[in-house]
Amino acid sequence: MKTIRASIIGFGAVGRGVAQVLLDKNDYLQSIGIDMRIVAIADSKTALVDHQGVDLESALSRKKETGTVGSEIMSGTEIIRTLDHELVIETTPTDIDTGGVGLINMMAAFERCMDVVTSNKGPLALKYGEVIAAAKKSGSHCRFEATVGGAMPVINLACDVLAGNRMISMEGIFNGTCNYILSRMMEEQAPYEQMLAEAQELGIAEKDPTYDVEGIDTASKLVIVANSIFGMNASYRDVTVTGITRITPEALSLANADGFAIKLIGEVNDSRINVAPKLVPLSHPLAVGGTLNVFSVQTDLAGPITITGKGAGSIETASAILSDIINIYKN
Amino acid sequence: MRVSMDLELKDIPGQLVLALKPVSEFKGNLISVVHHHEKKTPRGKIPVHLVFEIKPDHLDNIISLLEESGISVVSVDEKRYLEHGAVILIGHIVHTDIKDTIDKVDNTGYAEIVDLNLSMPRVNRPSSASLKIDAVSKQHMSAAIELLKSIAKEKDLLVIEPIGIN
């Protein structure tokens, strides 16, 4: 049995999902020889530290009841810099302008030769090369399946499962919020603003939906895909981006009459990284509705492979994080 | 463009090769050759149906060469546009001179707007339109869509193109 001491930095939906999944899957993890011990949890204001392992159940209920996870005033970065542990589970929110605290946390972890599993897109979409170089230098693992497509296996599928294949191109729907809004606009023949409001009411869209609807979220994911799967050295600024805010219900119905849906499609190939609304034939595998995500990768040996699944959600994203953790420590 | 041609050959050896030679000389790409030896015409000739792709300006040369070789060209059916595509436009489509937008594509010589459906919900609200485009080949289709995108940029229109272009 290998004991892995880990911290969860960021205790929002994803961080809490990770705690829940670690609780639910504890027996399984033990059965494959992994003893996960969470020695610290940090949210944006407080921290909970216990060298013997925090009680995840009470941490979750405390967060639910009081809004904070602990009583200590200690930042995630301080935890990484001062507390002895092997793994940082970095689930702070994405900051696409600077990389934010996530970037600081990841670099701090690599300085101390710790492994990092993250769902934070910012650091990788902005400074992929630097982050990976720092991990390599310190001999740390850095895995980030949860940054792209939530529960859908994207990075690990291409890099591990399809190892040996050359990836020619990838296209798909990487943002459930946009997919929901466009699908509902078509169904209801309703304007964008109305369906955005509905999505916000249901918690599918953020109060400030800019990241999603302007295509910024999709673009960040594509940069991570381009760098990690296609071996590019791209940054968020290399992506041409068009969002969905100008789409009209009339356009959706004209497209539908011609046998097409309109979807916000992200594509990566040798020459470009592009996000734009596109016409997708209604019978095409990429024409999935609701909040679903989907992508299709063209490979030289295996041909086209299409995966569809839930692109967001607390437990779904935690599933990607768990698979990264198991991948690092199972051997 | 794609040409479908009905010929009649004399029933003597070497005629089929003679019929195919002009196509190959002008770098045509043969798609199919059907030799109806069993369906002789009342004049004792053998009908042959050819389908090939060729640059438009070479077709007349091929027909003359065939006729010079004594091969009867019974019918020629040319299909200039092999690719059919659709795009959606959103914005002030009419007020940014829709005729000019269409003319620019039509004037390329390799693509044409063949259908347009316009939806104008209210004054001052953006219109939406679906455009059908025919083009000579896949490459010409993507060139036509690129052209539309550059026109749209000037006129502040949004072009929604099909996936898989480029």
Q: Do A279 and B90 touch (CB under 8 A)?
A: no
Q: What is the pLDDT of residues B123-142, one digit of tens each?
A: 888 999 999 999 988 899 99
Are B121 and B67 in contact by the 8 Å Cβ rule? The answer is no
Q: Tell me how crowded residue A225 is: count the other CB atoms within 10 A of its CB.
A: 28
Are B16 and B45 in contact by the 8 Å Cβ rule? The answer is no
| Mutation choice for A interface testing from B158, B159, B165, B166 by most A CBs within 10 A | B158
Q: Above pLDDT 90, what percent of chain A?
A: 88
pLDDT of residue A271: 83
- What is the C-alpha to C-alpha distance for residues A17 and A158, in angstroms, rounded to an integer? 25
Q: Which residues of A touch B127 (CB under 8 A)?
A: 250
Pick the CATH number of A2-151+314-329 from 3.30.1490.20, 3.40.50.10860, 3.40.50.720, 3.40.50.970: 3.40.50.720
Give SS3 for B129.
Answer: strand
Q: Which residues of B touch A250 (CB under 8 A)?
A: 119, 121, 127-128
Q: Above pLDDT 70, what percent of chain B?
A: 99
CATH class of the structural domain B2-79: alpha beta
Interface A-B: count of C-beta contacts within 8 A: 65
A286, closest residue in chain B (CA to CA): B163
- CATH code of domain A159-310: 3.30.360.10
Q: What is the DSSP letter of A277?
A: E
CATH class of the structural domain B83-160: alpha beta
What residue ranges do the domains of chain A occupy?
Answer: 2-151+314-329, 159-310
Q: How far is CA A325 from the centre of its chain?
A: 15
Residues of A serving a catalytic function are: 221
Q: Do B90 and A248 touch (CB under 8 A)?
A: yes
Q: What is the pLDDT of residues B1-58, one digit of tens each?
A: 888 899 999 988 999 999 999 999 999 999 899 988 888 888 889 999 999 988 888 9
Q: Which of B90, B161, B162 sits opposite A251 (nearest CB)?
A: B90
Torsion sign (Cα): B102, B104, B106, B110: negative
Closest alpha carbon to A88 in A99, A97, A75, A70? A75
Domain with CATH 3.30.70.260 in chain B: 2-79, 83-160
The owner of tokens 């300085």 is A111
Q: Do A250 and B121 touch (CB under 8 A)?
A: yes
Instruction: Evaluate if residue B166 carries a pLDDT over 60.
Output: no
Instruction: Work out the angle at residue B19's Cα, subtended by the Cα atoms of residues B14 and B23, and round it to the nearest 5 degrees.
Output: 135
- What is the C-alpha to C-alpha distance for residues A188 and A256, in angstroms, rounded to an integer? 13
By the 10 Å C-beta count (0-12 exposed, 13-18 middle, 19+ buried), A162 is classed as: middle
- What is the C-alpha to C-alpha distance for residues A234 and B28, in angstroms, rounded to an integer? 43
Q: Which residues of B touch A247 (CB under 8 A)?
A: 90, 158, 160
Residue B5 — left, alpha, or beta (φ > 0 → left; ψ -120 to 50 → alpha)? beta
Are A312 and A291 in contact by the 8 Å Cβ rule? The answer is yes
Q: Do B88 and A279 touch (CB under 8 A)?
A: yes
Q: Do B161 and A279 touch (CB under 8 A)?
A: yes
Closest alpha carbon to A219 in A263, A181, A266, A173? A266
Are A83 and A67 in contact by the 8 Å Cβ rule? The answer is no
Q: Which of A246, A258, A265 sits opposite B163 (nearest CB)?
A: A265
Give B139→chain A minimum CA distance, Å.
Answer: 17
A266, closest residue in chain B (CA to CA): B163
- What is the C-alpha to C-alpha distance for residues A311 and A264, in angstroms, rounded to an integer? 14
Give A277→chain B minimum CA distance, Å.
Answer: 6
pLDDT (average), residues B100-104 = 95
Q: Do B162 and A280 touch (CB under 8 A)?
A: yes
| Mutation choice for A interface testing from B87, B88, B124 by most A CBs within 10 A | B88
- pLDDT tier at B165, thresholds 50, 70, 90: low
Beta bridge partners of A297: A170, A305
A261, closest residue in chain B (CA to CA): B162
Q: Give the A-side interface with B, CB within 8 Å.
A: 171, 242, 246-248, 250-251, 253-255, 257-258, 260, 262, 265, 267, 276-281, 284, 286
B122, closest residue in chain A (CA to CA): A250
Sequential pLDDT tens for chain A (331 residues) = 899 999 999 999 999 999 999 999 999 999 999 999 999 999 999 999 999 999 999 999 999 999 999 999 999 999 999 999 999 999 999 998 899 999 999 999 999 999 999 999 999 999 999 999 999 999 999 999 999 988 899 999 998 889 899 999 999 999 999 999 999 999 999 999 999 999 999 988 888 999 999 999 999 999 999 999 999 999 888 999 999 999 999 999 999 999 999 999 999 998 899 999 999 999 999 999 999 999 999 999 999 999 999 888 899 999 999 999 999 998 7
A257, closest residue in chain B (CA to CA): B130
pLDDT of residue B79: 74
Give B73→chain A minimum CA distance, Å.
Answer: 39
pLDDT of residue A243: 97
